[in-house]
Amino acid sequence: MIAIIDYGAGNLKNVYRAVINMGFDAKVTSKAEDINNSKAMILPGVGAFGDAIYNLEKADLIDCIKENISKGKYILGICLGFQLFYDVSYEGGCYKGLGLLKGEVVRFSGKLKVPHIGWNSLVFNKEDEIVKGIRNNDYAYFVHSYYVKPDNFEDVILYCDYEVKVPAIVRNNNIIGMQFHPEKSGKVGGKLLKNFGELIK
């Protein structure tokens, strides 16, 4: 069972439906017991970084998530859920993240439209089994005003070009993050979710 962690940040139903459609068992939950008994975790998210961290703390889920990761359990962060993996975000202030990966979350600057909304092509930084079957310049659907600046760009599997190289998929061992929404990215997103499910079999 894949535990889709409910901490009050939206898009849970779409993520659940997408995972089920790929043939995997999943459960939307905010219970530590369910997370501990799962084969993998998904941390989705639509909303603000500060509110998300507050809700995770209030639900007493931060230590639970970290303990499961330390045991080698896979986690997939989607959009805001991915950004929460990092040390700090400057969205609406300065908020400490989960500190699972080194880097910061910053607002886009420059001439392009913010938020970054819509389909953008994915560019390979390196090969990885999480992107099996994905081609260079396949498209995914993004909705975000802030992006990750990782300390180590070697963790980046795919990126997109939006005046800067925006990490689109990052992996560090059992920690995987996607800035775009795979559940809204058609066949490409479905393939990526299937790849994630295959990792935990």
64 is catalytic: no
Q: List the catalytic residue out of 64, 91, 144, 183.
A: 183
Q: List the catalytic residue out of 67, 127, 181, 198.
A: 181
- Residue 9, pLDDT > 80, answer no
Number of domains the chain contains: 1
Q: List the catalytic residue out of 64, 79, 144, 160.
A: 79
Range of the domain at 150: 2-199
Comparing 1-10, 58-67, 117-126, 149-158, the range with the smallest average pLDDT is 1-10
Q: Compute the average pLDDT of residues 44-52.
A: 88
Percent of the chain with pLDDT over 90: 82
Determine the 3-state secondary structure of 87 from DSSP: coil
For position 144, which CATH number holds? 3.40.50.880
Which residues, including other chains, have CB under 8 Å from residue 156's CB and lie 6 or more apart? Answer: 125, 126, 150, 165, 167, 168, 169, 170
Q: Which of 3, 2, 9, 7 is nearest to 181 (CA)?
A: 9
Tokens 């080698």: give the residue.
Answer: 72
* Sequence-ordered strand ranges (E) for 35-164: 40-43, 74-78, 88-89, 95-96, 103-107, 116-121, 123-124, 139-144, 146-150, 156-161
104 is catalytic: no
Percent of the chain with pLDDT over 70: 100
Confidence of residue 126 (pLDDT cuts 50, 70, 90): very high
144 is catalytic: no
- Residue 22, pLDDT > 90, answer no
